[in-house]
Amino acid sequence: MATLLAVNSAASLWGPYKDIWQTVGNVLWRRQPEAVHLLDMILKKHKPDFISLFRNPPKNVQQHEKVQKASTEGVAIQGQQGTRLLPEQLIKEAFILSDLFDIGELAAVELLLAGEHQQPHFPGLTRGLVAVLLYWDGKRCIANSLKALIQSRRGKTWTLELSPELVSMTTRFTDELMEQGLTYKVLTLLSQIDVNNEFEKLQRERGLGSEKHRKEVSDLIKECRQSLAESIFSWACQTPLGKDDTLLLIGHLERVTVEANGSLDAVNLALLMALLYCFDISFIEQSTEERDDMIHQLPLLTERQYIASVHSRLQDSQPWKLPGLQATR
């Protein structure tokens, strides 16, 4: 039982995701050939994290009891002998963090212990405030990794000039994510994650510190949203979305509103451009070796009912929240 309830001192909601982003960067951007095998292993190991995309480990009665008694009975730490007693204050903070982010109690303990370990890098911040940064940094790493993997796909708009084997690996991996409903998950997250709402929750639990801390948290959340949106944009550029996903994207854009200054934010601009790329067939005029293969992958031309379904949806009399956005159709 102790093994099942052991704490990951690197924080399972942060450390592993940081390693994924580091490895993705080493392979795709820094072109380190020795890291390709590691990327293959990491993608296989963490495929469930990409499929579940931002889903947190749930609260658990057994974990709650374990953490509740951790000041007298201790908790097991992965890779360490024996158990570690936790101070009552840390236990109290863990329950607050668990409620704040709706995460499992042990995951909350992990974030606090990691926050404690990272405190020297964040002068003036408590372990709880650092834990908030680590939580959103973990999400950022997954979102950035997803975007980069999709950008490396084989497609019609660009190439990163990677090896054919590597492109096949990332294309196959991201294809599997799309088959598991990636578009729906990304659009749902973009509807749910809102900086103002997140700040309200953090404010209630005193999870925000100085102006610098507030800006860092805000920047992390905004980067998560932007990378998620650009994942859809990058996908549409390389491989236009199928009928059902295109309709999901249209449904999301129907509900979009403008910023206070009347402009369309970068997240929704990326989604609008993704939709327009779904209808782009300009590459047909290019005389590239892969053109014929790409034509066979274009839902606009190959998927029955694509044009009829999309046309019907766009001609729907229901007005969009932004008439100007609707006019681009």
Long-range contacts (CB closer than 8 Å, 24 or more residues apart) made by 162-167: 162/28, 163/36, 165/36, 166/27, 166/36
218, 245: one domain: no
Return the pLDDT at 3.
41
Q: What is the predicted pLDDT for the residue at 144?
A: 98
Task: Report if residue 206 sits inside a domain.
Answer: yes
Of 239, 274, 302, the position where a domain reaches its end is 239
What Cα–Cα distance (Å) separates residue 290 from each residue in 5, 147, 239, 257, 301? 51, 23, 13, 39, 16
Number of residues that make up the chain: 329
Least confident of 153-157, 298-302, 306-310: 298-302
Is pLDDT above 60 for 12? Answer: yes
Average pLDDT value over all residues in the chain? 92
Do 190 and 230 form a contact (C-beta atoms < 8 A)?
no
pLDDT tens digits for 232-284? 999 999 999 999 999 999 999 999 998 888 889 999 999 999 999 999 887 77
Q: Are residues 301 and 226 in the same domain?
A: no
Instruction: Note the pLDDT of residue 182.
Output: 98
Residue 57 shares a structural domain with residue 175? yes
pLDDT at 197 exceeding the cut of 50: yes
Least confident of 91-95, 99-103, 182-186, 310-314: 310-314
Read off the pLDDT of each residue in 157-166 and give the average, rounded to a whole number: 94
What residues contact 121, with CB distance under 8 A and at least 6 apart? Answer: none
d(CA 178, CA 241): 10
4 is a domain residue: no
Phi, psi of 157 (to 5 degrees): -105, -40
Are residues 186 and 306 located together in one domain of the fold? Answer: no
Between 3 and 290, where is the model more confident?
A: 290
Q: Are 245 and 234 contained in the same domain? A: no
Overall average pLDDT of the 220-236 stretch: 98
The verdict on residue 265 lying in a domain is no
Tell whether 196 and 251 lie within a shared domain: no
pLDDT for 124 beyond 80:
yes
149: burial class by Cβ within 10 Å (0-12, 13-18, 19+)?
buried
Helix axes 182-192, 243-254, angle to 10 degrees: 10
Most confident stretch, 69-83, 126-140, 298-312: 126-140
Residues 248 and 231 grouped into a single domain = no
Domain that includes residue 255, residue range: 241-260+290-328
Report the domain count for the chain. Answer: 2
Which residue, of 207, 239, 271, is where some domain finishes? 239
Amino acid at 284: I
Same domain, 189 and 310: no
- Are 249 and 183 a contacting pair, CB within 8 Å? yes
